[in-house]
Structure 1
Amino acid sequence: MKTVSLIAALAVGLTAIPAAAAAADQLPTAACPDTVSVETTCYGGKDSNGAFYMIAVPRNWNGTLVLHTHGGPDLGAPTQERSFDDLKRWAVMANEGYAWAGSAYRRGGYGTQMAILDTENLRTLFTKTFGKPKTTLLHGQSWGGNIAAKAAEQYKYDGVLLTNGVMAGATRGYNYRVDLRVIYQYYCQNHPRPTEPQYPLWMGLRKDSTMTGTGLRSRLQECTGIESKPEERTAQQAQNLKDILSVTKIPERTLTSHLNFSTFTFRDIVSNRLGGRNPFTNLGVWYTGSHDDVALNLGVQRFLADPSAVRDLSYDSDLTGNIKVPVLTMHAINDPTAFIEHEAAYKATVTNAGNARYLVQTFTQESEHSSLSDSGYASAISALSTWVHTGKKPTPASVAASCPTFDAKYHKGCFFEPGFTPNSYESRVPPRIGAFGWPALTEFQAKIWKRFYPNIGIAP
């Protein structure tokens, strides 16, 4: 393995030449993560837009490139470590003979179109260096699933793998966090406190607040005792926690991370990407599951979305189902972050667009969000690649049947559940009845809007 050599400029306009010679002349090499086979050469650097990237090319490269779109979004400045860690986590792709490339994106914060552009820039960089791959597959995990699914509607790939994806789109995919934000404040009254400057909760957090994640966890602990043993919580803390979890249907183990998102990421979306406009609503929602639903619904803060903010967020991140290549999804049934019902939302979107023939969804009996079994990833990417090359569409059962072969290599377990079907998204997240809604734009509508309103969407 070679050490990092930071070369400032990359050659452009080169024709396709053999991989090893091109890479030696153009890209800074980097140490590979320890999860990557020693038969692999890694490269790392920063593109012309300031986005860090990692590339891994195995010696026995099979000619297929897997482009990776990572989740988040990270709110801090991007680093090389981000793309290095992504390669470390999905080293299974390189170990299976695929070339792998992932961007850390040019900036922190929300922006699906921004992430798509940086992923496309990386594809161009890879092609200029190693030549055009025989096949290009796109893989997105978590928010990266939204990015990859959106990219597949706008650019040409040979196939797409979506794992634990946020597939309901931004304008409804974060509604359970909208609900969490207002329900938490109803019970806790400390975010903000009565003595602090007040602001509408759809902002997540006022723009000039200096609150940190540590400070937010302290307030959550104060209200619910979530970090204490159950027997050490006060009666009021226990009741608050029970009500918040029962109404939002958020698992206790990820309550802190969801509240972080509905605080800090909402602030980024509203204040930094939408100019202070509100894309969220909870009008028409009747919250249930508390010890006093009437009092909760009478007392919870309500708000109506700004149609222009909904339009711009929809343009950036909502899905239309306009896919024309094989798309395979894999999702943990007990995913505590991107609930399994996201897959039902995506299936409905694709089916309503008339493209169900391009979609296969698989589910696993796993309980984590950030990563799944390497044996499962290997099975899924192999099934997708075979579908792309042969035209033979896999089934959930056939993907599951292939897993033991890969598990003999990775020993991470096979957890596919071929007979599983998720409930509707609305069964988990109440629809916004009676509120203004802007439908996801079709490709044609997006072109028209872009022509007459060039500043639509979220700027990179």
Structure 2
Amino acid sequence: MPRSTMTCSPRWLTAAALAALAGCAGTTAPSAPAVATAWPTEAAPQPVDCPSGLPAGTRCLGGRDSAGAFYRIAIPADWQGGQGDLVVHAHGGPALGEPKVERVVEDLQRWSVMVRAGYAWVGSSFHQGGVAVLSAAEDTERVRRIFVDHVQQPRRTVLHGQSWGASVAARTAEVYGRLVPGQRPAYDAVLLTSGVLGGGSRSYDFRLDLRVVYQALCHNHPKPDEPPYPLWQGLPEGSTLTRAQLTQRVNDCLGLNKPAGQRSAEQQQKVQTITRTIRIPETAILPHLAWATWHFQDIAQRRTGGAPAFGNLRVRYTGSADDDALNAQVLRYTADAAAIARFSADTDPTGRIDLPMLSVHGIDDATAFVELDNEFARTVARAGRADRLVQTFTRDREHSYLSDAAYATLMQALLRWVDQGDKPTPAGIAAACPALEARFGAGCRFEPGYRPAPLDTRIAPRQSVGERPVGTGKVMAGPAS
């Protein structure tokens, strides 16, 4: 496969800032690039219809920025610049393909609680699809600038990242949220919800595990009569496989479209092997397998120059009826150190964020494991910013949305921290939430005593980045010693 020519840097960085990027410099540790020094002039947003779910009197604006991203702005009827607060939203996903305006309209609808709580809101579709975090961070900062330049300067600005967008928000805060003496900060605080916060180097390893275990059991992705390819590649270039076809293959092998009682004994045994070894519920098998197909294809073809950022050389899979037999069958791959460095430089948070950070995560989230928050806390602590982060957890299994009351409570606590220096606690947030249920509906399920386990207890550990063997993703038969 030809090596990608795509740059891993935001387009407006100076030459010195470009040199600071770890992925371009070939180092293994991610860095926070210097702030962009030049931005193009953006056209003024135009009035657009507000989607349903927003309060009466909301004013909506929209447009397409100079990079090609769509965006939407929503302003409550009584909002006034200098007195009102702004939420800058970084959405999850990531989406693949060209940007679509529907993406950002749906985001505004889903997060209408922010407008109903009195905050102005702005969000970008991001100008390019795929797993490109710094590019999305640049788009996020650009849309904030559009709001400030063409609407009004808010009193406070909260950067909100959801799911994969939490990693975007973290990187945005690192790059564009630095505190400079004598200058007004671009952002005042960060809210991270259901975050994929382990970075690309840690968050996606289990999806390779899913691919190799699934293939050992099902032998149909790829099928025996299809050209073989390394599974870290997702799909080979030029593949025409559709999501409907993948769904059919999974149902043929596992019977996920049937109740457990209607599956064959063989199908049910395979489902149980996957859920126990990968530690995901059966409802999460197909979504993660799809992400390990098309998102892995994007990573291999556009982010790592065709080399593998994921490996499973010494991973031992446990929880099946016969672990020795399973481990003898799974394909083994070595990760490429340069590919890991390049991918990490774009996707891995450094933790070097000086702003107040508040996060929330559902304990039983099967899309982004709650243990990722443990990894992020370790990252922030290594950067010497542990006092800047407060993490909260809820008794939820949902990923995409928890509850209006929970988010309203978190925003209230975060802004009190910024304005009054009153650092919140998980117990205080849990105690404050019920008072907002009358306005925002039931949904207070905070568990103030919960602490997530280390990520290695959820995802089979592998060699550290510095120790991973350099290779080309070569397939190795049988278990590795």
TM-score, structure 1 length as denominator? 0.88
**Corresponding position: 1:136 with 2:157:** yes
Q: Say which of 126, 130, 153 aligns to 1:105.
A: 126
Q: Please name the residue that 1:402 is paired with.
A: 432
Relative distance call for 1:346 and 1:39 in structure 2 (3 A) is same
Partner Cα distance (1:64, 1:276) in 2: 44
Equivalent residue of 1:126, what SS?
A: helix
Q: Offset at 1:131?
A: 3.0
Counterpart residue identity of residue 108, structure 1:
G
Cα pair 2:44 2:146 within 8 Å, conserved = no
Q: Please name the residue that 1:124 is paired with.
A: 145
Cα pair 2:300 2:308 within 8 Å, conserved = yes
Q: Say which of 69, 83, 89 aligns to 1:51.
A: 69
Residues 369-420 of structure 1 show CA distances to partners (whole Å, capped at 9, x for unaligned) of 1111000000011111111111110001111111112211011321111111
Q: Please name the residue that 2:374 is paired with.
A: 344
**Corresponding position: 1:353 with 2:357:** no
Partner Cα distance (2:56, 2:364) in 1: 34
Cα pair 2:50 2:60 within 8 Å, conserved = yes
Partner Cα distance (1:300, 1:204) in 2: 16
Q: Please name the residue that 1:304 is paired with.
A: 334
Cα pair 1:137 1:161 within 8 Å, conserved = yes
**Corresponding position: 1:236 with 2:257:** no
Q: Offset at 1:81?
A: 1.1
Equivalent residue of 2:176, what SS?
A: coil
Partner Cα distance (1:339, 1:391) in 2: 31
Partner Cα distance (1:192, 1:119) in 2: 37
Residues 401-457 of structure 1 show CA distances to partners (whole Å, capped at 9, x for unaligned) of 11112211011321111111111111101221377558xxxxxxxxxxxxxxxxxxx
Q: Say which of 178, 187, 193 aligns to 1:163.
A: 193
Partner Cα distance (1:404, 1:234) in 2: 47
Unpaired stretches in structure 2, ≥5 consecutive residues: 1-39, 178-186, 469-481
Q: Say which of 101, 105, 114 aligns to 1:93.
A: 114
Q: Say which of 37, 51, 55 aligns to 1:37.
A: 55
Counterpart residue identity of residue 196, structure 1:
E
Counterpart residue identity of residue 111, structure 2:
W
Comparing 124-133 with 254-263, greater Cα deviation is found at 124-133
Relative distance call for 1:231 and 1:137 in structure 2 (3 A) is same
Q: Please name the residue that 1:413 is paired with.
A: 443
Partner Cα distance (1:210, 1:93) in 2: 40
Q: Please name the residue that 1:63 is paired with.
A: 84
Counterpart residue identity of residue 47, structure 1:
D
Tell which has more relative contact order, 1 or 2 (C-alpha 8 A, sep 6+): 2
Equivalent residue of 2:175, what SS?
A: coil
Cα pair 1:80 1:104 within 8 Å, conserved = yes
Partner Cα distance (2:418, 2:389) in 1: 12
TM-score, structure 2 length as denominator? 0.84
Q: Offset at 1:96?
A: 1.1
**Corresponding position: 1:386 with 2:416:** yes
Cα pair 2:337 2:465 within 8 Å, conserved = no
The equivalences for 1:173-192 within 5 A come to 173-192=203-222
Partner Cα distance (2:351, 2:44) in 1: 38
Equivalent residue of 2:317, what SS?
A: coil
Partner Cα distance (2:465, 2:65) in 1: 42
Q: Please name the residue that 1:274 is paired with.
A: 304
**Corresponding position: 1:431 with 2:449:** no
Give me the identity figure in percent.
Answer: 47
Equivalent residue of 1:287, what SS?
A: coil
Counterpart residue identity of residue 141, structure 2:
E
Q: Say which of 283, 292, 302 aligns to 2:322.
A: 292
Partner Cα distance (1:350, 1:308) in 2: 24
**Corresponding position: 1:76 with 2:97:** yes
**Corresponding position: 1:323 with 2:326:** no
Partner Cα distance (2:467, 2:367) in 1: 24
Partner Cα distance (2:302, 2:391) in 1: 35
Counterpart residue identity of residue 222, structure 2:
P
Unpaired stretches in structure 1, ≥5 consecutive residues: 1-11, 15-24, 439-460
Cα pair 1:13 1:128 within 8 Å, conserved = no
Cα pair 2:303 2:342 within 8 Å, conserved = no
Equivalent residue of 2:335, what SS?
A: coil
Equivalent residue of 2:60, what SS?
A: strand
Cα pair 1:304 1:435 within 8 Å, conserved = no
Partner Cα distance (2:455, 2:386) in 1: 18
Q: What RMSD over aligned residues (CA atoms) do the two structures have, in Å?
A: 1.5
Cα pair 1:284 1:434 within 8 Å, conserved = no
Relative distance call for 1:206 and 1:193 in structure 2 (3 A) is same
Equivalent residue of 1:26, what SS?
A: coil
Counterpart residue identity of residue 326, structure 1:
P
The equivalences for 1:238-257 within 5 A come to 238-257=268-287
Partner Cα distance (1:162, 1:257) in 2: 22
The equivalences for 1:1-16 within 5 A come to none
Q: Offset at 1:368?
A: 0.7
**Corresponding position: 1:196 with 2:214:** no
Partner Cα distance (1:117, 1:437) in 2: 32
Partner Cα distance (1:311, 1:435) in 2: 8
Q: Say which of 368, 375, 395 aligns to 2:398.
A: 368
Q: Offset at 1:134?
A: 2.0
